[in-house]
A and B are shown apart, each in its own frame.
Chain A
Amino acid sequence: GAGVSQSPSNKVTEKGKDVELRCDPISGHTALYWYRQSLGQGLEFLIYFQGNSAPDKSGLPSDRFSAERTGGSVSTLTIQRTQQEDSAVYLCASSPGQGSGGEQFFGPGTRLTVL
């Protein structure tokens, strides 16, 4: 079956511009996570969705970062006024939810480069 998909695969933007990153989770997965992978910081948790709610946003690095999920499915991560330190690979993962043992299925990521 289809796995987690993310778009775009690569995004190059200029400092100060806004960007939107999209994640399509596996159908039926109620939990969705965003992570960031960068050379300096490694893999970091950003935000967790259960359905359309985000009970844990503790990893969002600043108020320039926001995310939403609609219909219990697609999620969009938005970065406003991008900075060079936002350059990283943004990974999305989905999970069946409670009782699944926590296994997360990852997408291929979106590589964001801020010039």
Chain B
Amino acid sequence: AQSVTQLGSHVSVSEGALVLLRCNYSSSVPPYLFWYVQYPNQGLQLLLKYTSAATLVKGINGFEAEFKKSETSFHLTKPSAHMSDAAEYFCAVSDSKVYKLSFGAGTTVTVRA
């Protein structure tokens, strides 16, 4: 069985400040890990994915995440927040066969001017 836990349901940051969203996973097999973003009334958009290649993964819009097996973590960061980063972010894990996604509960990011 695979699952993810996102720490913090809400994160508020100032524009220009670091964004850090935490995700820990549980998996009995080498995991595939993903971060998705959801803007209001829209579907999910892939930010980045880890599929057992480089442990530091760079995604779209300046986001990156580091896979740390020893900590079972896959935290998402962005050095400088922009107002357009306000959205809900989901961490997800899948296996490498069916690829069905198990999502965390999500973290809502608000950006203060």
| A interface residue numbers (CB < 8 A to B) | 4, 31, 33, 35, 42-45, 48, 55-56, 59, 91, 93, 95, 101-109
- Which residues of B line the A interface, CB within 8 A? 32, 34, 36, 41-46, 49, 51, 90, 92, 94, 96, 98-106
Across the interface, do B101 and A31 meet the contact criterion of CB distance under 8 Å?
no
Contacts A35-B101, A42-B105 given: A103-B90 contact, CB under 8 Å? no
Please, which residues of chain B bring their CB within 8 A of the CB of A55?
A: 98
Residues of B within 8 A of A33 (CB): 100-101
Q: In the complex, which residue of chain A has the Cβ closest to the Cβ of B93? A: A102
With A33-B100, A48-B98, A55-B98 given, is the CB distance from A102 to B105 under 8 Å?
Answer: no
Docked pose: A104 CA to B93 CA in angstroms: 12
Docked-complex contact B51 and A108, CB < 8 angstroms:
no
Asked whether B100 lies within 8 Å of A45 as measured between CB atoms, the reply is yes
CB pair A43–B90 under 8 Å, yes or no, is: yes
A109:B103 contact, CB within 8 angstroms: no
* C-alpha gap A109/B40 in the complex (Å): 12
Inter-chain CA distance A31–B49, complex, in Å, is 18
Q: Closest chain B residue to A9 by CB distance? A: B41
List the A residue with the shortest CB-CB distance to B97.
Answer: A98
